[in-house]
Structure 1
Amino acid sequence: MYEEKYKHLKELEKVLVSRLAGVSSDLSSEHSADSAEQVTERENEDVLRNLKEETHLELKQVRAALKRIETDEYGICAKCGEEISAARLDALPYATLCIRCAS
């Protein structure tokens, strides 16, 4: 029933894993010897750390959604047990709550 969602989530998982690898690589790069450059690099590192954290959270949500598809729990609100609308799942494929419970 959710074959297309599963494919979409698997693709999203690949994108997120790739993004995490890139961000991790960028974070582990050497710093410049120039102190003025180091200030900019540290600011960039803050942004990269935030991006890494957000990407890790999204990846966790995607993987949880994939597991819900595999266990036939996908598309069911975790709070009220009602079906999550197709429009909501289109907008947020790893949603765990229906729009009413999310509000």
Structure 2
Amino acid sequence: MSGGGDGFAAVRTGLILRLADLRARGARVAADLTAPISADAEDAAIEREDDDALAGEDALLAREVAAVTAAITRIDEGSYGICTSCGKDIAAERLAAKPEAALCIECARKFSA
């Protein structure tokens, strides 16, 4: 499925837009995490719980940013659509559903088990 950067220009553009959105969301989460905690004990407890959820969201966003960035790099290098584990083509349907996919469905299942 390797087609070089030109064969996936629309996918690359979509990934760049998604990357911008992820980074903007990450910046909002970071700002919320650095907001001062209320002096009121009850409010502070709620804010700490919110911070725990935000920290989880921040970690998820970081993983997504890394996956999207890696997909853009694979497009630029001409290896997009090729499983980074087994070297087989990644199904077009999988890439349509998950454009940042680095693994074919078989390898993804193997590594998630």
Flag whether TM exceeds 0.5 (same fold): yes
Displacement of 1:69: 0.2
Counterparts of residues 14-53 of structure 1 (less than 5 Å): 14-53=20-59
Counterparts of residues 1-103 of structure 1 (less than 5 Å): 1-103=7-109
| Gap runs ≥5 in structure 1 | none
Aligned residues: 103
TM-score w.r.t. structure 2 length? Answer: 0.88
Displacement of 1:57: 0.8
4+ runs of 1 displaced by more than 2 Å? Answer: none
Displacement of 1:65: 0.4
Give, as a single letter, the amino acid of the residue that structure 1 aligns with 2:53.
V
- SS of 1:43's equivalent in the other structure is helix
| Gap runs ≥5 in structure 2 | 1-6
TM-score w.r.t. structure 1 length? Answer: 0.96
Q: Relative contact order (alpha carbons < 8 A, sep ≥ 6): 1 or 2 greater?
A: 2
- SS of 2:78's equivalent in the other structure is coil
Q: Identity over the aligned pairs, expressed in percent?
A: 38
